[in-house]
Amino acid sequence: MKVAAIQMVSGSSLDTNLSEALRLMRLAAAEGAELVVLPEYFCFMGEKDTDKLVLAETPGLGRVQDFLSDAARDLKLWVVGGTMPMATDDPEHVANASLAYSPKGKQVSRYDKIHLFRFDNGRERYDEAAVLKAGDTPTSFTCEDRSGVQWKVGQSVCYDLRFGELYRALGADVLLVPSAFTHTTGMAHWEVLLRARAIENQAYVIASAQGGLHENGRRTWGHSMVIDPWGEVLAMHAEGPGIALAEIDPARLQAVRQQLPALQHRRL
């Protein structure tokens, strides 16, 4: 199955972001992709964190959800919508939700980001808990490709990448990591963490990222990639909008797990 990690440099215009996301998904579909993963905050990167509150949608109702459903159905793709703000019972906090849609346009999964990023090095400061409400449920879904192979797909978002226990709990064949890693943390840790998650879980990793200088002055690392269960980087897009496209192979997955049966050797 061909998969695509889509990289964007999202800004504050919902219209522009959705138009760019659709353009890149069409390119991926034209290249034969069956599963596309958009980055975290693909639909919106505001001037300040509280801007997310204005765009929050309720389940099953909203422009971004309609966009994802329509794109999946029209392009006949499995589409994972990076993340988008979803309303909670607290008007001052939203969920950072990653929604998955089947090629029929049906929502098949929703994962709310569990681990909320906080970072302060004296020059950059981030605290997602100021406006985000953390999720609490590891989430996966089954993706059937066009050849009839079923893949267990585990969901995560960005900062989740630093918490290996989440991925162990997922027990998936494919791990998704839509992200908006900062340039500082991404340059230091992005690739090594992604490859570690692939190796220790003997799973494919699809990591779609924001990658560039945004309107709000934030700089994200990019380097969207697809990694195989042995930790080999199969495709990578460094900076700016684009696609990292690769083939994932069930035979390769099975071979790695048979040759080195580490998952069977777990004791904790």
Digit-coded pLDDT (tens) for 198-232: 999 999 999 999 999 999 999 999 999 999 999 99
Q: How many domains does the chain have?
A: 1
Distance CA 16, CA 198 (A): 33
Annotated catalytic residue within 20, 113, 133, 143: 113
**CB distance 204 to 174 below 8 Å:** yes
Residue 43 a catalytic site member: no
E strand or H helix that includes residue 73: helix 63-75
pLDDT digits (tens, 9 = 90+) for 65-109: 999 999 999 999 999 999 999 999 999 999 999 999 999 999 999
| pLDDT tens-place string over residues 161-190 | 999 999 999 999 999 999 999 999 999 999
Mark whether 40 is an active-site residue: yes
**Residue recorded with tokens 């460094």:** 238
Q: Is 158 tagged catalytic?
A: yes
Q: Tell me which residue range forms the domain holding 256.
A: 2-265
Residue 145 φ then ψ, to 5°: -85, 180
Structure pTM? Answer: 0.98
User: Which of the residues 40, 52, 57, 143 is marked catalytic?
Assistant: 40
The CATH number that applies at residue 227 is 3.60.110.10
Q: For 165, phi and psi rounded to 5 degrees?
A: -65, -30
